[in-house]
Amino acid sequence: MDEQIDYAEMEAKLRSRVETLLNGKMTAMERQVRWRPSWFADVETVSGIKKLYIRGDRQSDVVPFPELKREADILRVLGEQGIPAPKIYGMCEDPVAIIMECSPGSRDVATASSDEERRSVARQYIESLMAMHKLPLEPFKAIDLEVPVGAEEIALAGVKAYMPLYQKNKICPEPLIEFSLRWLRDNIPMHRTRASMIAFDAGQFLFSEGKITAFYDFEFAMIGDAMTDLATMSMRHSYEPTGDTMSSLLTYYEELSGEKLDISVVRYHHAVFATVACMQFAGAIKNPKPGDPHDVYLEWDIALRKTLLNALSKNMAVDLVTAPVPTAQDSNLAALYTMLNDSAEQLSADTPLQEAGKKSTQRLVEYATVMSRYGSELERLAIVEATPFVGDCQSSTELDEKLEAFVKQAGPEHNAALLQYFSKQLSRRMAVCADIEIGISAQHIQDDILG
């Protein structure tokens, strides 16, 4: 089906549902240019113009909680409990979408009028985050959120949530992920026995005129360890600054809570989040589905694996080694990739969505071109360097099967060597992709998110 006709039909249904919900007339509707279908809309009602944000379904199999109503219910309860959140007007069932208030403001703290305002916004976020962590859990249990009990359930709440998705979509061995899962289970912070409502992917907020106006993006929210939010906020800070240094914000959280922060627990949850993020996209990388934002998932896969290795290195106190850049190989497909690049450049792009689609294609061709030159050498080195763990292997498939089996049963005495092995393989992949768009974002991953 033609994409434009499909979206026209989708938007007609959304318009009808919005007008029914608000008993008004939609006067404007603009699709947000991003990989997820979402829209900004104006609706004329008897009480004036209402500005809406319509958050559509991802339309891909990469989320542990696929029901958008779950996110709408969480935002509604947060608002009722005094946490800044957009008003939820209701749901559209076909197409599935949350119809909510369009909260004013920006996430970009660079738009603040001064350094003082940036720091104030950051502290307001910490204040609201702390307030959310102290909320009673009964209202969230009433909307069917699972309440973990005991240190193990609380520590691994995210792993439990993502595991069904991972197991369903996993079509081949994932040695690094399985290595991390074993380490997480072996190192649970047993003194953490209090559960809190958490964003899980924290650090997402809007502000206007120096005031926080809303928290947003709660599709991964759950009940777990509050330290998870400090870890994920710190991760996001590396590419989407919060407004102040992380050390200052963590100190402020500590002052508000009246409890000394255990940074080792924050680092543990850094590893948890990085692990489940890799689990989330593993299937989409190895078994891509039509319509997925393939270039985005490849970019995230590299960056998230770098994040995971950094997290494990800090938790294990292991300094990672960077491997030398591999030698490029001549490819008999070089002319073909030149043709593909030329063809991608000639694609028409008359709208912002078409331009985004063209850019995605160009990014994929660029990545494929690099892999055609380096891929065989990356595979050869991975096989050679895994010999101490799995012996001789004749193919990458055999290597991954043997290596996953090894990491699942390996004792802690192998952890440092395995971590260095995984780091070498990823550092080479990052090096050969350093100058292409899919690989650039991984270069900005910080070694220590709490620095």
Is 175 inside any structural domain? Answer: no
Last residue of a domain, one of 79, 101, 123: 101
pTM: 0.91
Percent of the chain with pLDDT over 90: 81
Between CA 222 and CA 71 the distance in angstroms is 10
Q: Nearest Cα to 163, choosing from 180, 143, 142, 145?
A: 180
Q: Nearest Cα to 49, choosing from 18, 73, 75, 86?
A: 18
Between CA 198 and CA 201 the distance in angstroms is 8
Residues 219 and 336 in one domain: no
Residues 75 and 115 in one domain: no
- pLDDT for res 66: 78
Q: Provide the residue range defining the domain that includes 236.
A: 109-161+184-274
Residues 233 and 147 in one domain: yes
pLDDT over threshold 70, residue 5: no
Is 167 inside any structural domain? Answer: no
Residues 267 and 313 in one domain: no
Q: Determine how many CB atoms are found less than 10 A away from the CB of residue 395.
A: 10
Is 178 inside any structural domain? Answer: no
Residues 335 and 227 in one domain: no
Residues 114 and 57 in one domain: no
Q: Nearest Cα to 418, choosing from 325, 315, 312, 273?
A: 312
Residues 423 and 326 in one domain: yes
Last residue of a domain, one of 101, 121, 137: 101
371 and 285 in contact (C-beta within 8 Å)? Answer: no
95 and 182 in contact (C-beta within 8 Å)? Answer: no
Q: How confident is the model at residue 333 (pLDDT cuts 50, 70, 90)?
A: confident
Give me the CATH number covering residue 227. 3.90.1200.10
Residues 313 and 403 in one domain: yes
Is 146 inside any structural domain? Answer: yes
Residues 118 and 59 in one domain: no
Q: Tens digits of per-residue pLDDT, 78-112?
A: 999 999 999 999 999 999 999 999 999 999 999 99
Q: In sequence order, what DSSP letters do the residues of 195-257 get, joined into one string?
A: -EEE-SS---EEEETTEEEEE---TT-EEE-THHHHHHHHHHHTTS--SS-HHHHHHHHHHHH
Last residue of a domain, one of 101, 117, 146: 101
Is 279 inside any structural domain? Answer: no
Q: In sequence order, what DSSP letters do the residues of 127-154 get, joined into one string?
A: HHHHHHHTS-SHHHHTTT-----SHHHH
Place of tokens 């074993």: 182
Q: Determine how many CB atoms are found less than 10 A away from the CB of residue 108.
A: 11
Q: How many domains does the chain have?
A: 3
Quick one: 17 exposed, middle or buried, by C-beta within 10 A (0-12, 13-18, 19+)?
A: buried
Residues 90 and 204 in one domain: no
- pLDDT for res 451: 59
- pLDDT for res 35: 67
Give me the CATH number covering residue 21. 3.30.200.20
Residues 156 and 133 in one domain: yes
Residues 264 and 134 in one domain: yes
H or E element: which one contains 43?
strand 38-45
Q: Tens digits of per-residue pLDDT, 391-419?
A: 999 999 999 999 999 999 999 999 999 99
Is 2 inside any structural domain? Answer: no
CA angle 412, 415, 420 (to 5 degrees): 170
Q: Nearest Cα to 405, choosing from 168, 179, 169, 150?
A: 179
**Residue 420: both structure tokens together:** 């260095």
CA angle 71, 77, 78 (to 5 degrees): 90
Is 1 inside any structural domain? Answer: no
305 and 281 in contact (C-beta within 8 Å)? Answer: no
Which one-letter amino acid corresponds to residue 315?
Answer: N
Is 194 inside any structural domain? Answer: yes
Q: Tens digits of per-residue pLDDT, 284-330?
A: 899 998 888 899 999 999 999 999 999 999 999 999 988 998 999 88
